[in-house]
């Protein structure tokens, strides 16, 4: 089976599992509540019996039967809500829940892919399928300033690492809040281990939670996709991912500078950055490079687009990964 169909088939199976899980959880809730409030079971039985007899009556030509059923069920449903509330439950406690209410966990709205399906496909295609799990741990709620020193400021710098990070996190939250109205693009730069990826993940999580389409690519993966599209026979997956790189709400290019740069990568990077700016689409680039190194490695027009049109966040401080390793070895 071609890769594309495999991805589709796997995703559709995941959706089916999700629907089954919600049905199972609903059944569990119902059984537990029936034990506590037996009258609810009686009301559900009334609904079921009324539906059967209304269907029979309709078949026998009683045209009003289905209207009566609707009214009957509405009344019973009000009684159920009242019983649930008085037992301390939310009135909709027994209703079926959805991971994505927009498509009711089918992946499609009509014949169009739902945003959740497009996102799931993006994760599968961009080899970022573990990202959602990582985002459960790396988000604004789990962000800690304690790894950033508040005392030993570099005399060259106007603020301490912690103060710098506080300002940046405040601006990152503003970036998220204003994402739909005032899209910005960001360059997050600084040495290894100062929290660039963590910060990017905080933003990605906040935007994914509000149903935005986020494409996360390492710079290596990004250029590989460009090359496949340009030089090799691109399959449907490559074509989708290529389109998503330009169309998505937020493109994250992680670790720019680790790819093998050449005239082609330079030209594609410019096209990507420029097209997205023209269409007011946000991009986040993270890199270990300093501004001088960026200038030396990329064309003048890339450098001037980034420094002219992006918000620049310089992160500094101690290597957090090294600090965490030390914490673990002492704990
Ligand atoms: Zn959906």
Return the sign of the alpha-carbon dihedral for residues 270, 124, 104, 31: negative
Q: Is the pLDDT of residue 1 over 80?
A: no
- Return the residue matching tokens 């935005």: 212
Return the sign of the alpha-carbon dihedral for residues 286, 290, 291, 292: negative
Same domain flag for 161 and 217: yes
Same domain flag for 256 and 155: yes
319 found inside a domain: yes
Sheet with strand 185-189: strands edge to edge: 214-218, 250-256, 282-287, 185-189, 310-314
Q: Is 192 helix (H, G, I), strand (E, B) or coil?
A: coil
94 found inside a domain: no
pLDDT of residue 331: 62
Ligand 1 centroid to 103 CA: how many Å? 4
pLDDT of residue 66: 82
Phi, psi of 153 (to 5 degrees): -75, 140
CA–CA dist 245, 217 (Å, integer): 9
pLDDT of residue 62: 81
289 DSSP assignment: -
Ligand 1 centroid to 113 CA: how many Å? 8
Q: Is the pLDDT of residue 155 over 90?
A: no
pLDDT of residue 326: 75
Ligand 1 centroid to 220 CA: how many Å? 30
Ligand 1 centroid to 109 CA: how many Å? 8
Strands (E), 41-163: 108-109, 112-113
Residues 225, 161: contact at Cβ < 8 Å?
Answer: no
What pTM was estimated for this model as a whole? Answer: 0.81
**Region 223-251: what's the mean pLDDT?**
85
146 found inside a domain: yes
Ligand 1 centroid to 121 CA: how many Å? 12
Question: CATH code at 170?
Answer: 3.40.50.300
**Region 186-208: what's the mean pLDDT?**
94
Domain that holds residue 37: 3-86
CA–CA dist 220, 223 (Å, integer): 5
194 found inside a domain: yes
CA–CA dist 94, 84 (Å, integer): 9
CA–CA dist 281, 273 (Å, integer): 9
96 found inside a domain: no
Residues 256, 222: contact at Cβ < 8 Å?
Answer: no
Q: Is the pLDDT of residue 57 over 90?
A: no
198 found inside a domain: yes
- 163 or 327, which is more confident: 163
Structural domains counted in the chain: 2
103 found inside a domain: no
Same domain flag for 305 and 173: yes
Last residue of a domain, one of 37, 64, 86: 86
Same domain flag for 58 and 134: no
CA–CA dist 125, 300 (Å, integer): 32
Same domain flag for 151 and 270: yes
Phi, psi of 222 (to 5 degrees): -60, -50
46 found inside a domain: yes
Return the sign of the alpha-carbon dihedral for residues 68, 71, 77, 82: negative
Same domain flag for 246 and 159: yes
Same domain flag for 170 and 65: no
Ligand 1 centroid to 170 CA: how many Å? 30
Last residue of a domain, one of 86, 110, 133: 86
Ligand 1 centroid to 180 CA: how many Å? 20
Residues 208, 176: contact at Cβ < 8 Å?
Answer: no
**Region 165-180: what's the mean pLDDT?**
96
Helix 3-36 to helix 38-59 angle (10° resolution) is 120
Same domain flag for 133 and 242: yes
CA–CA dist 285, 282 (Å, integer): 10
Q: Is the pLDDT of residue 169 over 80?
A: yes
Ligand 1 centroid to 116 CA: how many Å? 4
**Region 188-208: what's the mean pLDDT?**
93
Ligand 1 centroid to 8 CA: how many Å? 15
**Region 50-65: what's the mean pLDDT?**
84
Ligand 1 centroid to 98 CA: how many Å? 9
Residues 6+ apart with CB under 8 A from 320: 147, 193, 194, 195, 198
pLDDT of residue 3: 60
Last residue of a domain, one of 29, 64, 86: 86
Same domain flag for 19 and 129: no
Among 45-49, 73-77, 154-158, 245-249, top mean pLDDT goes to 245-249
Same domain flag for 308 and 217: yes
Ligand 1 centroid to 275 CA: how many Å? 28
Distances (CA, A) of 114 to 46, 166, 211, 228, 246: 36, 36, 10, 27, 18
Ligand 1 centroid to 93 CA: how many Å? 21
Same domain flag for 194 and 52: no
Same domain flag for 75 and 25: yes
pLDDT, tens digit (0-9, with 9 covering 90-100), for 266-318? 999 999 999 999 999 999 999 999 999 999 999 999 999 999 999 999 998 88
Ligand 1 centroid to 262 CA: how many Å? 39
Q: Which residues pair with 112 in a beta bridge?
A: 109
């Amino acid at each position: 089976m071609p890769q594309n169909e495999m991805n589709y088939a796997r995703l559709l199976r995941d959706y089916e599992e999700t629907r089954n899980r919600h049905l199972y959880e609903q059944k569990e809730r119902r059984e537990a509540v029936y034990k506590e409030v037996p009258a609810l079971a009686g009301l559900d039985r009334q609904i079921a019996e009324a539906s059967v007899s209304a269907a029979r009556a309709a078949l026998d030509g009683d045209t009003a039967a289905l209207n009566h059923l609707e009214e009957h069920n509405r009344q019973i449903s009000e009684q159920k809500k009242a019983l649930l509330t008085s037992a301390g439950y939310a009135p909709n406690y027994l209703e079926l829940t959805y991971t994505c209410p927009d498509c009711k966990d089918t992946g499609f709205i009509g014949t169009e892919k739902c945003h959740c399906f497009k996102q799931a496909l993006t994760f599968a295609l961009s080899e970022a399928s573990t990202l959602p799990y990582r985002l459960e741990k790396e988000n604004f709620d789990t962000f800690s300033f304690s790894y950033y020193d508040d005392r030993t400021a570099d005399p060259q710098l106007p603020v301490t690492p912690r103060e710098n990070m506080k300002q940046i996190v405040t601006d990152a939250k503003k970036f998220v809040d204003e994402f739909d109205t005032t899209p910005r693009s960001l360059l997050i730069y600084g040495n290894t281990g100062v929290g660039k990826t963590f910060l990017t993940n905080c933003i990605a999580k906040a935007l994914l939670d509000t149903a935005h389409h986020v494409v996360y690519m390492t710079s290596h993966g990004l250029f590989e996709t460009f090359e496949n599209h340009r030089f090799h026979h691109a399959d449907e997956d490559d074509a989708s991912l290529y389109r998503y790189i330009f169309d998505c709400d937020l493109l994250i290019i992680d670790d720019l500078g680790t790819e093998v740069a050449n005239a082609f990568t330079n030209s594609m990077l410019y096209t990507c950055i420029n097209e997205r700016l023209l269409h007011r689409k946000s991009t986040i680039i993270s890199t270990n490079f300093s501004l001088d190194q960026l200038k030396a490695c990329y064309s003048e027009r890339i450098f001037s687009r980034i420094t002219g049109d992006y918000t620049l966040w310089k992160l500094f401080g101690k290597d957090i990964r090294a600090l965490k390793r030390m914490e673990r070895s002492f704990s």
